[in-house]
Amino acid sequence: MKQKKWPEAWQEVTPGCMVFEPGNASTYKTGSWRAQRPIWDNKKCIKCGICYIFCPEACVSETGEGFFAANLDYCKGCGICAHECWPQAIVMMEEEV
Amino acid sequence: MGKRIGMEVGIAAAEAVGLCNIDVAAVYPITPQSHIAEHLSDIVHDGRIDAEFITVESEHSSISACAGASATGARVYTATSSQGLMYMHEVLPIVSAMRLPVVMGNANRAIAGPLNIWNDHSDIMNQRDCGWIVMHAENGQEVIDMTIQSFKIAEHADVMLPTVLNMDGFQLTHMIEPLEFPTQEEVNAFLPDRVPYATLHPDKPVSMGCFNMPEIFTETMKVKDTALINSKKTIIKIWNEWGKQFGRYYKPVESYKSKGAETLILTMGSMGETASVAVDELKKVGKSVGLVKMRLWRPFPLDELRAAIKGCKTLIVMDRAVTFGGIGGPVATEIKSLIYHDKDRPRIVNYLMGLGGRDVTVEDFIVMVERAAKKKDETYEFYGVRE
């Protein structure tokens, strides 16, 4: 997982720590925070998209067949998708250390 | 230079702001305030200057509105006092961290409780570590001059930091003094338009006030500290430019008849004027006394202060604020820290005085100097407290 590079020395920090590159938060991969990952059971999934709506990281997206999956580069493993899923099609699995 | 006119200092501060081509002023227009905000709103309303005057619902909002406006590249001013400054407190370090050159006028008044409203320095001392440039004016003329200088200092490319100009509440803000105003042309010649480092504009996106992870927060703090320390050079440069143009020179530390004096009084703000009369009186009766006045509180003028007190035997530090449960008033505590390593350091006598509007007269300064000679230890003392 590619991580954001920090300035080598304090002299390289811009005044006010301003950021001139738009959208560069995407280079910070929050997936490294995850202790659990969401696993979809597509046999139970009704394709309602509630997981997509509730994901606070906006990392859940629709796949080709209309099912849903999380981008694990950004998924923090918060479990909100599993909590909200009506047919309980998502389970949170412990990440292996 | 125009002729001298009589004017209340708070109103003069607003008039000085009116000469500075501001774009936005955001203030909470009711108590605690001085006449600065009220008169500035008149100046805007009467169409004398082309600026937005935003009346907000609190000081927390006024300083936030100033930050937002400043981030768009505008020249911004706000004024407050006492509890208002306390309510701004949460936002003050954010303004300096974002390097936004907001200029503030603060009418120094005691903070509650108990509710008081009169002058002392407890409001600004509580903001000590907010990363702002903190200056103290001694009289009305300095309020005018330093208000105009503040914009040039804050916005300078080598500074980019907010400034707060302190003027003692009532003792200064509500006094009518003979004052000289520079003309608009003279101010225009002194004060260039703001050239912002970056502005919030959709054509060139920039993120300001970004979240800092532990991996970079320390570096960001180092940058901010260095910026404030380095600003002193530019402040002195701009004060010299003012001196050349207007004939009134400003220094981080001012000395009055201090050469060779065994005892020095150290003051900040309007009490310096009273203390200078006391020095004259004491010199008449053969006392070896002088006066040192701090104009710049942040960045702390280390070298200038050390030079100003060099050679004196006793340094009497006047503090107009209490550091409860501490080891002295805020000014004395820092000066003790400054000279800790010095071999021939003076004995420090620290008076907490002039609190919550208690008048400090020439006679009081004379008594304090006489008592300082007899004082054996370096503990602080509430001068004038009834026992």
pLDDT in tens, B35-69: 999 999 999 999 999 999 999 999 999 999 999 99
Sequence ranges of the domains in chain B:
5-246, 253-382
CB atoms A6 and B99 under 8 Å: no
**Which stretches of B46-91 are DSSP H helices?**
59-71, 82-88
From the list B160, B216, B222, which residue is nearest A15 (CB)?
B160
Q: Any chain A CB within 8 A of the CB of B72? A: no
Whether B5-246 and B253-382 share one fold: the answer is yes
Q: Is B150 helix (H, G, I), strand (E, B) or coil?
A: helix
pLDDT at B377 over 90: no
Residues A56-83, mean pLDDT to the nearest whole number: 96
Which residues of chain A are within 8 Å of residue B210 when distances are taken between CB atoms?
17-19
Any domain includes A30: yes
Q: Any chain A CB within 8 A of the CB of B216? A: yes
Lowest mean pLDDT among A4-8, B191-195, B244-248: A4-8
- Which runs of E-coded beta strand occur in chain B? 5-8, 24-27, 52-55, 76-81, 103-108, 133-136, 163-168, 176-179, 253-256, 263-268, 289-294, 296-298, 314-319, 347-352, 380-382
Please calculate the CA angle B18-B19-B22 and round it to the nearest 5 degrees.
Answer: 60
* Residue the block writes with tokens 């207007």: B246
C-alpha distance from A29 to closest chain B C-alpha (Å): 13
Measure the N-to-C terminal CA separation of chain B; round to a whole number of Å. 51
Residue pair A15/B99 in contact (Cβ under 8 Å)? The answer is yes
Residue B332 amino acid letter? A
Give pLDDT, residue A3: 54
CB atoms A16 and B219 under 8 Å: no
Give pLDDT, residue A1: 46
Residues B260-289, mean pLDDT to the nearest whole number: 97
From the list A10, A17, A18, which residue is nearest B212 (CB)?
A17
Q: Any chain A CB within 8 A of the CB of B227? A: yes
ipTM of the complex: 0.81
Q: What is the pLDDT of residues A27-67, one digit of tens each?
A: 889 999 999 999 999 999 999 999 999 999 999 999 999 99
Q: Is B27 helix (H, G, I), strand (E, B) or coil?
A: strand
pLDDT at B286 over 70: yes
Provide the percentage of residues in chain B whose pLDDT is more than 90: 94
Any domain includes A43: yes
Radius of gyration of chain B (CA): 21
CA atoms within 13 A on the CB side of B177: 22
CB atoms A15 and B212 under 8 Å: no
CB atoms A16 and B205 under 8 Å: no
* Residue the block writes with tokens 């010095």: B342
Residue pair A90/A82 in contact (Cβ under 8 Å)? The answer is yes
pLDDT at B223 over 60: yes
Residue A33 amino acid letter? W
Of B202, B360, B336, nearest to B278 (Cα)?
Answer: B360
Q: What is the pTM of this model?
A: 0.92
Q: What is the pLDDT of residues B75-133, one digit of tens each?
A: 999 999 999 999 999 999 999 999 999 999 999 999 999 999 999 999 999 999 999 99
**Alpha-carbon gap, residue B191 to A60, rounded angstroms:** 54
Does domain B5-246 match CATH 3.40.50.970? yes
The domain B253-382 is placed in CATH, from the list 3.40.640.10, 3.20.20.70, 3.40.50.1970, 3.40.50.920, at 3.40.50.920
pLDDT at B2 over 70: no
CATH number at residue A80: 3.30.70.20
Q: Closest residue of B to A4, CA-based?
A: B215
Query: Domain tally for chain A?
Result: 1
Residues B124-146, mean pLDDT to the nearest whole number: 98
Q: Closest residue of A to B215, CA-based?
A: A6
Any domain includes A68: yes
Give pLDDT, residue B114: 96
C-alpha distance from A94 to closest chain B C-alpha (Å): 26
The whole-chain average pLDDT of chain B stands at 96
**Alpha-carbon gap, residue B153 to B155, rounded angstroms:** 6
Give pLDDT, residue A5: 72
Residues B144-169, mean pLDDT to the nearest whole number: 98
Which residues of chain A are within 8 Å of residue B222 when distances are taken between CB atoms?
10, 13
Any domain includes A88: yes
Residues B121-150, mean pLDDT to the nearest whole number: 98
pLDDT at B272 over 60: yes
Q: Any chain B CB within 8 A of the CB of A22? A: yes
- What distances in angstroms separate CA A88 from CA A75, B47, B288, B332, B372, one per listed residue? 19, 65, 87, 66, 80
**Alpha-carbon gap, residue B233 to B245, rounded angstroms:** 19
C-alpha distance from A48 to closest chain B C-alpha (Å): 34
Residues B325-330, mean pLDDT to the nearest whole number: 96
- What distances in angstroms separate CA B31 from CA B80, B82, B92, B123, B124, one per listed residue? 9, 10, 20, 15, 17
CB atoms A18 and B210 under 8 Å: yes
C-alpha distance from B97 to closest chain A C-alpha (Å): 5
Which residues does A26 contact at the CB level (< 8 Å), separation at least 6? Answer: none
Q: Which domain holds residue A85?
A: 10-94
**Alpha-carbon gap, residue B231 to B131, rounded angstroms:** 11
Lowest mean pLDDT among A25-29, B176-180, B259-263, B355-359: A25-29
